[in-house]
Structure 1
Amino acid sequence: MKVLVCIPCLMTGGTEIQTLNLVRALVTGGHKVLTVCYFEYASEMVSRFQQVGSEVICLSKDGSRIGGWKGIIFLYKGLRKILKQYRPEVAHVQYMAPGAIPILLLRLLGIPKIIATAHTPADIYSSLRLVHFVQRHCVRAFTCITELAERSFFGTSQLYTEQAQLKKRNHFTIYNALPAGISISKQAKKYNQPLTIGVVSRLETIKGMDLVVPAFAQVKASHTEMKLLVVGDGSLRKLMDEQVYEAKLEEAVEFTGQQPQEKLSNYYDRIDILLMPSRSEGFGLTAIEGMARGCVVVASRVGGLPEVVRDREVGLLHVPEQIGDLADKINELVEHPLLWKQYSIKATTYVQRFSLAQYIKLFNNLYNKI
């Protein structure tokens, strides 16, 4: 089939990585894929989509965002031109944004088979009336990235399986998948002193990065040999530098800056305890990447993280925004090596449910039914 994949922007976030997985899955299944980006884009990410076999069209040549009625007209004209030229049989809309307008426009333009994927829980929407209208009248299937997210939209949830029966309108959960560059480790990670605590993240408030150094300082007060590895960059880098200086931790903290996806496995392999103190998290791609490499994840109890990081099964959850509780959970792992080893070994088995192979199989099964 010819498939049109629609996405607001092609930058370097988790949504773009998962959309790249989707394109890879569809190309693997023999479909011809065109990806259309409405607004902002990074040349590197556009190249990644092209490398996995998708054509890419960026509607905004300079990457600027257009709002209001001008934005709707801009999208209508851009999508109409693409549909006339490409004639796709299926459109797959990512992110339900901006405001489900692309879905409504695609239906208006005559596309009968539309799949929508929501990458967040419903709590970001002031009203679900439009979402429910879209699900009932506009899309063939509505997929969510966690069951928690699906329940937040529709009150019920169902993990999609190859045995799933499609009705006229459907909603399912298909978990996000590991990126192609992150393999599941076949060897158990060794518990070596000194342990390294790490983060792999955009250094932003929403990711809770302002909590990392203060929590690390509390842990290091009792375990002086500990190290902190910070992989990523963002607006909080200066603040984190200041926190390190004020706590006199310069020799214990390493900042690497932003790293390409292909190199992340090397950094996960250096991290024993991976922190995700997010204030909001739709899924938690970093968590499954770390677990694939044997890291034990300590994450905040928000969004999709409790579903992805099973508390006291493969990792630990802490009270959101509570530095003391975050430090306590880290200390628990540091002081109980057997517990850390148990979680690390279990994580590499558990994370197979998020494998790229499983993701490819499920989405192609869904497309075949549609």
Structure 2
Amino acid sequence: MTVLICIPCLMTGGTEVQTLNLVQALIAGGHRVVTVCYFENCEDMVSRFQNAGCEVVCLSPDGIRIDGWRGILFLYKGLRSVLKQYKPDVAHVQYMAPGAIPILLLRLLGMRQILTTAHTAADIYPSLKLVHFIQRHCVRAFTCITELAERSFFGSSQLYDENYPLKKRNHFTIYNALPTSLPIAQKRSTVNCPMTIGVVSRLESIKGMDLVVPAFAKVKAAHPEVRLLVVGDGSLRRQMEQQVQAAGIIDSVEFVGSQPQEVLAQYYDRIDILLMPSRSEGFGLTAIEGMARGCVVVAARVGGLPEVVCDGEVGLLHRKEDAEDMAYKIGQLIGSHAELSRIRANALLYVSRFSIERYLALIVNLYSKL
């Protein structure tokens, strides 16, 4: 059947990477896939969707976002044109703002088989009345990326599996999956010399990047040999570079900028301890990417991270916005190679639940029941 994937933007974030996984799973299942992007888009991500075998329609070629009633009219006309041209059997809406409006417009335009995926928890919404209305009356399935997020929306949760009996209206959790470009390492028993702490992230406040250098400076004062690798770019890069200069640790920090998804494995392989001090995180794709390559994750106790990074077993959690606690947790790992090795071994086994093969099987099974 023909599946229409609806998404506000096609940039380089974790949501787009996960949506690409969805596209690849559907194509592997024998479906024709069309992705419609409403607003912002970049050539690289559009090309990656097309190379996967997906047809891409950008409603706004220049990527300009339109708000208010003009935006609703713009979406209505764009979706109507796409439905008329491609005649999809199913629409799968990626539920980021705006997410509710396209669902309502698709129903108005006659779509009956609609699925939606929420990429955040409910705490970003001032009210859940519209979400509950959509789940009960508009979509066949409302899927979440963590059980924590599902409970925040609906008060209960259930992991989807092949035995799930699909009803007229459903909500359940399907975990995000590792990108195909990041295979799970078979083994990683050695520690880099010198030991390397790293981040792979957009360098933005929401990712807690302003906390990284202060925490690293505290660790380095006790362990002079450690190094920091910063993979990514963003509005805080200049501030982070200034923090490095002020702390007098220029020789111990390396900024490599943004890197293509296809080469990230080689950077993860250089990192022993991966930091995720996010202020908000729906799932934490970087966490499972790092675990797949043998990094030990030290992450903030926010959003979906406590569910993905089981504290003390496959990683360590620190208090939100607390550089001191982050530095303490890093120090625990540096001070005990045996503990670091134990957690790393656990993570390499644990991360298989997020494999692309498992995700593909669940998506194919779900769509077979529609």
Q: Taking structure 2 as the reference length, what is the TM-score of the superposition? A: 0.99
Q: Which residue of 2 aligns with 1:214?
A: 214
Aligned length: 370
Q: Which residue of 2 aligns with 1:77?
A: 77
Any conservation in 1 of the 2:117–2:143 contact (CA below 8 Å)? yes
Distance 2:267 2:81 in 1: 44
Q: Give deviations 1:282-334, integer Å, cap 9, x for gaps.
A: 00000000000000000000000000000000110000111110000000000
Gaps of 5+ in 1: none
Q: Which residue of 1 aligns with 2:285?
A: 285
Any conservation in 2 of the 1:279–1:300 contact (CA below 8 Å)? yes
Helix, strand or coil for the counterpart of 2:166?
Answer: coil
Distance 1:188 1:237 in 2: 30
Any conservation in 2 of the 1:301–1:318 contact (CA below 8 Å)? yes
Check if 1:369 corresponds to 2:369: yes
Correspondences of 1:33-72 after superposition (within 5 Å): 33-72=33-72
- 1:97 CA displacement: 2.9
Q: Which residue of 2 aligns with 1:308?
A: 308
- 1:79 CA displacement: 0.6
Distance 1:13 1:186 in 2: 27
Distance 2:113 2:139 in 1: 7
Helix, strand or coil for the counterpart of 1:5?
Answer: strand
Distance 2:110 2:207 in 1: 40
Q: Which residue of 1 aligns with 2:253?
A: 253
Correspondences of 1:232-251 after superposition (within 5 Å): 232-251=232-251
Distance 2:313 2:176 in 1: 20
- 1:192 CA displacement: 3.8
Distance 2:77 2:239 in 1: 44
- 1:85 CA displacement: 1.2
CA separation of 1:75 and 1:192: change in aligned 2, threshold 3 A: closer
Q: Which residue of 2 aligns with 1:31?
A: 31
Aligned-pair Cα RMSD in Å: 0.7
Q: Give deviations 1:40-83, integer Å, cap 9, x for gaps.
A: 10011000000001000000121100010111011111111111
Distance 2:306 2:80 in 1: 41
Distance 1:69 1:59 in 2: 16
Any conservation in 1 of the 2:187–2:348 contact (CA below 8 Å)? no
Q: Which residue of 1 aligns with 2:345?
A: 345
- 1:194 CA displacement: 1.9
- Among all aligned residue pairs of Structure 1 and Structure 2, give the percentage whose two residues are the same amino acid: 70
1:253 aligned partner, one-letter code: V
Helix, strand or coil for the counterpart of 2:57?
Answer: strand
Helix, strand or coil for the counterpart of 1:349?
Answer: helix
Any conservation in 2 of the 1:278–1:300 contact (CA below 8 Å)? yes
Helix, strand or coil for the counterpart of 1:158?
Answer: coil
Q: Taking structure 1 as the reference length, what is the TM-score of the superposition? A: 0.99
Check if 1:92 corresponds to 2:87: no
- 1:109 CA displacement: 0.6
Helix, strand or coil for the counterpart of 1:11?
Answer: coil
Distance 1:180 1:81 in 2: 32
Check if 1:263 corresponds to 2:263: yes
Check if 1:103 corresponds to 2:103: yes
Q: Which residue of 2 aligns with 1:141?
A: 141
Helix, strand or coil for the counterpart of 2:5?
Answer: strand
- 1:167 CA displacement: 1.1
Q: Which residue of 1 aligns with 2:10?
A: 10
- 1:95 CA displacement: 2.0
- 1:96 CA displacement: 4.3
Any conservation in 1 of the 2:8–2:96 contact (CA below 8 Å)? no
